[in-house]
Structure 1
Amino acid sequence: MPDRSPAHPAGHRTYARYVALGDSQTEGLGDGDDTSGLRGFADRLADQLVLHSPELTYANLAVRGRLAGQVRAEQLDAALALRPDLATVVAGVNDVLRPSFDADAVAGHLEAMFAALTAQGARVVTVTFPDPARLTPLARPLSPRIAGLNDRVRRAARRHGVVVAETHRHPVVMDPRLWSPDRLHASPLGHLRIASALAHALGLPDSDDSWTRPLPDQAPAGRGSGPAGAWRTLADELRWAAGFLGPWLRRRLTGRSSGGGRTAKRPLLLPVRTEET
C-alpha cells in the first residue's frame, strides 16, 4: 500500500489525520477529570505531531471500560470512515482483568484492527503493557496474562507492519509517580511518557529515548525495613484494595461498566489545540 502521507521538507513523514482507538487510557483517565476535561497520551501525542504536521486533525474514539472486542465492534468502522493516515490502537487491559480472559481472542480483535487500518493505508502504532505486579503485589496472578498478551501483540504487529512502543521493558514505567492512585491508569506524567514513547517509536523529529530514563530522585520514600515496613506495605495494599479494587469488583459482579452510557470524547477530526504539557 503506497504511503499517502505528505513529505516533510526535511524528509520526515508528516500526518494529516490521526485517530485514536482504545479504552480508558486512550480516553485519558488519570490526566485531568470529567469536569475540567481529560487529556491523556493520545492528546499529548497529537500535541507533538502538530509541531511537525501543522495541518493535523485528530479524533479520539476511545471509551473507558471497553474490552478489545468492544473497541473493534464500536470504534473500527468509525475510524475507517475517517480515513486516518495515523492510528493508535491500545486495548486489552480490561480483558486481562476479567476471569474469562482469552489471550488469543483478545489478540485476534487487536489484529483485526491492525489489518483493517493498515490495509487502508494508515500507519498504526501500539504498545506493550507493563507487568502490574511490579507496582501492586496483589496483581501477581495477572503477570502471565500480560506476558502472553504482549507476545501476541508483537507477532500480530509484525504481520501487519504495525509499530510497537515497548513500554514494558523499562523499569521507569513502574515508578509510582507515573501512575494514578488507582494503579490502573497513568498519571499526567505517565501519559506524557507514553506519548513520548509512541513519538520515539514513530521516529518523530525531536523525539528520543529520554522517556526510558529514571525520574529525578527516582527512589520513592522508603517504607522502612523489618516488621514496621512490612506492616506499612500491607496497610497500603489494603487501602488500595478497599478504595479501588473493591469498587471495580462490585462493578464486574453487577455487570456494570465505568463506560456505561458514555460516547467518544472527540468523535470527529478536529484541528489540534496545543497545550502546556
Structure 2
Amino acid sequence: MEMNATYTSLVAVGDSFTEGMSDLRPDGSYRGWADVLAGRLAAHTSGFRYANLAVRGKLIGQIVDEQVDAAAAMKADVVTLVGGLNDALRPNCDMDRVRDRLGEAVERLAPSCGRLVLMRSPGRNGPVLDRFRPRMEELFAYVDELAARHGALVVDLYGAPALADPRMWDVDRLHLTAEGHRRVAEAVWQTLGLPAEEDWRTPLAPGPRPRWASRRLADARFAKEHLGPWIGRRLTGRSSGDGLPPKRPELLPYEGPDAG
C-alpha cells in the first residue's frame, strides 16, 4: 500500500483514553489506539519514533502542566491531544476553566508540530452519557473552535453511533474494548490523510439482547467493582493515575508488538 503522506514521529498526550485502557495485552499492559496507530505508521516508515505521555485519570490542568511542554519540545510530525472529559464528568466542573486550559494546550502544541490532532471523544449509550451530554457537547464545540483557529484536525468519534454501542465498551463502562481502540486508530489514520483500510463507522452485527437477570448482574458488578471506587476517588480527591509515570515518556524508535 502506498501512503499518501509520510509521518516520521508521533506524540500522544492525554488521559486513560490515550493510555489505552482497557485494551489489555496478554502481559497485562495496555495497548490502545495510539499504540495501534504508531505500529501501523512504523510499519511504513523506517526509524519511526513514538512517545505516549498519557496517564490515566488526568484532568486537563494536569495534562497541560505535566505533558504539554514535554510534547511540544519533541517537535513531532503528529501530536494527538485528548483531554477535558475527566473534568466534564465530575459533579462540580468549572467548564470555563476547562476551556481555558484546553485552549492553552492547543496554543502551545499547534506551533510545535507538523500536525495537531484533536478529538471529539466517544460516549457509551446509557444514563451517564445522557446526564453529561450537555457538558460533553460544550467541550466538543470548543474543540471544533480551537481546531479552526489553529489549523488542527478533528476526529469526530462522538458522532459515530458504532462507538456508542455498549458492546464497544469494557465492563467499567468508561473505556473502550480492543475493538473500539482499533476503530479509533483507523479513524485517526484516515483523518491524517492515509488510505482507508476499513469503514470504522460500521455498526456491530445485531446480537441477542441480554436477559433481564444478566443485565442486573452486570449492573451490580459494575457498581461494586467500578462505580463505587470511582466515586470514592472523587470524594477523596485521589486519581487512578496518582504516582504513575507516562506510558512512553521519550520519543524513541517504535519497535513494539504493534509495529508490524
Of 54, 71, 77, the residue aligned with 2:46 is 54
1:195 lines up with 2:185 in the alignment: yes
Deviation at residue 88 of structure 1 after TM alignment: 0.5
Verify the 8 A CA contact 2:79 2:113 in the aligned structure 1: no
CA pair 40-79 structure 1, distance change in 2 beyond 3 A: same
Equivalent residue for 1:36? 28
Give the counterpart of 2:206 among 219, 226, 243. Answer: 219
Identity rate of aligned residues, in percent?
A: 41
Cα pair distance change 1:34/1:269, threshold 3 Å: farther
Could you tell which deviates more after superposition, 31-40 or 137-146?
31-40
**Which amino acid letter does the alignment assign opposite residue 63 of structure 2?**
V
Secondary structure at the aligned position of 1:210 is classed as coil
Tell me what 2:235 maps to. 253
Are 2:83 and 1:94 equivalent residues in the alignment?
no
State the 1:96 CA deviation. Answer: 1.4
Q: Relative CO higher for 1 or 2, CA cutoff 8 Å, sep ≥ 6?
A: 2
Normalised by the size of structure 2, how large is the TM-score? 0.91
**1:91 to 1:138, Cα distance in 2 relative to 1, 3 A:** closer
- Per the alignment, residue 156 of structure 1 pairs with 146
Post-superposition offset of 1:35: 5.0
Instruction: Answer yes or no: is the 8 Å Cα contact 1:104–1:152 preserved in 2.
Output: no
Aligned length: 258
Cα pair distance change 1:139/1:233, threshold 3 Å: farther
For 1:185, which of 171, 175, 198 is the aligned residue? 175
CA contact (8 A) 2:69 2:108 kept: no
1:176: Cα distance to partner?
Answer: 2.5
- What is the DSSP-based 3-state SS (H/G/I as helix, E as strand, rest coil) of the residue aligned with 2:249? strand
Structure-2 change in CA distance of 1:180 and 1:99 (3 Å): same
Bigger CA drift: 89-98 or 113-122?
Answer: 113-122
| One-letter code aligned to 2:75 | R
Paired residue type of 1:171: P
Deviations 1:68-105 (A, max 9, x none): 11001000111122111210001112111212223332
Give, as a single letter, the amino acid of the residue that structure 1 aligns with 2:117. Answer: V
* Larger deviation, residues 80-89 vs 267-276: 267-276
Secondary structure of 2:51's counterpart equals strand
**Counterpart selection for 1:268 from 242, 250, 260:** 250
- Matched to 2:249, the amino acid is P
Measure, in 2, the Cα distance between the counterparts of 1:46 and 1:106: 28
**Could you say what secondary structure the match of 1:38 adopts?**
coil
Q: Which residue of structure 2 aligns with residue 241 of structure 1?
A: 223
**Radius of gyration: which is bigger?**
1
Aligned counterparts of 1:182 and 1:147: Cα–Cα separation in 2 = 22
CA RMSD of aligned residues (A): 2.2
- Out of 193, 210, 232, the position equivalent to 2:199 is 210
TM-score (norm 1): 0.85
Where in structure 1 are there 5+ consecutive unaligned residues?
1-9
The equivalent of 1:82 in structure 2 is 74
| Residue correspondence of structure 1 range 64-83 to structure 2 within 5 A | 64-83=56-75
User: Do the aligned partners of 2:73 and 2:112 also contact (CA within 8 Å) in 1?
Assistant: no
Aligned twin of 2:127: 137
- Name the counterpart of 2:4: 12
When residues 138 and 266 of structure 1 are mapped into structure 2, their CA distance, relative to the original with a 3 A threshold, is closer
Map of 2:156 onto structure 1: 166
Letter in 1 for 2:240: S
Q: Look up the SS of the partner of 1:211 in the other structure.
A: coil
Aligned pair 1:105/2:92, yes or no?
no
Deviates more, 1:34-43 or 1:76-85: 34-43
